[in-house]
Amino acid sequence: MVNPGETLRVWMYENAPAALGDCANRLSFMIPLQAPANVRGKAVECRWGGRDYGRYRYVLDAEGVAHLEDVQLLLLGNKELPQPLAPAKCRDLLPGILHSMDQPSQATWRFVCTYEMPVRNEQRPQVTEVWGVVTSDSTGTDPLPSNRRCWELLAFLGGPVETMGTPVRCLLD
């Protein structure tokens, strides 16, 4: 078990910076567990922060290096979202996710689903714009880029328990 503030060795792409930083800020460098074996990487140390807890799931290999299994996205759902909601992959819940053509006020649920990160340069065939959630105070201080992927919103979330948050559009692929 890794506690907040401790370091974790995570499998990342070869061009990942070596300087120690927060794991949450290194998500784009992490090689997903489902990546082909020929994807080259290296173990990089990062600091496990309080906001990482519950948002990132890793599998440890025999050498103690963490491989990113999936992340948890915070999204808005519509009345089609099955209730009670069991843990599920975001793709499997697509009919129940509030699409960006709808207003966020139409959301009937705020929920968490698991998402497998794409391998770098992977082109996924289906991309859908949906409503994600960030903490209310993050939109005023950090610029949210347009055409952001839903996983990029993780940098704007707190730990597992947040305030209601602010809806923002994001791309789910």
66 and 89 housed in the same domain: no
Instruction: Look at residues 70, 104, 124 and tell me which one is the last residue of a structural domain.
Output: 70
- Measured CA to CA in angstroms, residue 34 lies from 6, 37, 82, 151 at distances of 26, 9, 27, 16
Cα torsion 30, 34, 40, 42: sign: positive
User: What residues contact residue 83 under an 8 Å CB cut-off, 6+ apart?
Assistant: 109
Q: For 1-18, what is each residue's pLDDT tens digit? A: 567 778 889 999 999 988
Phi-psi region of 64 (alpha: psi -120 to 50; beta: other; left: phi over 0): left
What is the pTM assigned to this prediction?
0.84
State whether 65 and 133 are in the same domain. no
In a shared domain, residues 88 and 166: yes
Rounded CA-CA distance 53/45 in Å is: 16
Q: How many domains does the chain have?
A: 2
**∠34-38-41 over CA atoms, to 5°?**
80
**Residue-number span of the structural domain to which 167 is assigned:** 72-172
Mean pLDDT, range 85-102, rounded to an integer: 92
Q: Which residue has the higher pLDDT, 124 or 59?
A: 59
For residues 161 and 121, membership in a common domain is answered with: yes
Query: What is the 8-class DSSP label of residue 154?
Result: G
Is the domain of 79 the same as that of 15? Answer: no
The reply to whether 76 and 131 lie within a common domain is yes
- pLDDT tens digits for 97-149? 999 999 999 999 889 999 998 888 777 777 899 999 887 655 544 556 678 88
Look up residue 92 and give its two tokens: 């499997």
- Looking at the fold, whether 86 and 97 belong to one and the same domain comes out as yes
Rg (CA), the chain: 16
Q: Tokens in use for 28?
A: 């784009």
In a domain, 80, yes or no: yes
